[in-house]
Amino acid sequence: MLDWERDKRWSDKFLNEIKAILGVHLIGEPPIEEDMERNTDLMVLKMDAVRIGCRVRNHQYFEKYPDDFTIRSGRPTGAKTELAKIIEGWGQYLFYAFADEKDERLVYWRMIDLNKFRLWFNRCLAKGKPYPWVEMNNRDNSSSFHVFNVKKAGDVLFAMK
């Protein structure tokens, strides 16, 4: 089994909880006129396709790095990574969460506005080094990733628990 498949299978077990959280933020109550005149009790805040990347990390990382979020930036195979896809303009939001100690529920999450993130990231690149992020390799060298600190990333956050 590929590392990607193993990682996806693990994080997919949180999809129902993620969808419930996202529903609270992407579905809203309409103005009273909508209810009175158009039989509308709830409205999806945007009808276009909204692409949301989801990342769930083990609890040990929440204990050590609660203010950081990571985005995969390299694979030895040369496969396109999350960071490359984001920079290309894919995705409107990144749902970034941490699991509890038993890997059963989410204990903390944040939603990152990827349009704001792209703008911030490109401005940082334009200014040059030192960048306000660190690039690291996984222990097994299966990929590299950028580590971003939410306090340095400004207002790229949409909501958080």
53 DSSP assignment: E
Cβ atoms of 92 and 115 within 8 Å: the answer is yes
What pTM does this model have? Answer: 0.82
Output the DSSP codes for 118-135.
Answer: HHHHHHHHHH-SSPSEEE
CA 65 to chain centre: 15
* Domain positions in the chain: 3-160
Quickly count helices (H) and strands (E) in the chain.
6, 9
Residue that the structure tokens 């396709």 belong to: 49
Q: Residue 84: enclosing H or E segment and its boundaries?
A: helix 82-87
What are the residue ranges in the chain where pLDDT is below 70?
A: 1-3, 45-47, 155-161
Q: What is the pLDDT of residue 161?
A: 52
Q: What is the pLDDT of residue 158?
A: 56
Output the DSSP codes for 88-152.
Answer: TT--SEEEEEEE-TTSSSEEEEEEEEHHHHHHHHHHHHHH-SSPSEEEEE-TTSS-EEEEEETTT
Q: Three-state DSSP class for 58?
A: coil
Q: What is the pLDDT of residue 29?
A: 83
The backbone torsions φ and ψ at residue 113, rounded to the nearest 5 degrees and listed phi first, read: -80, 110
Q: What is the pLDDT of residue 8?
A: 82
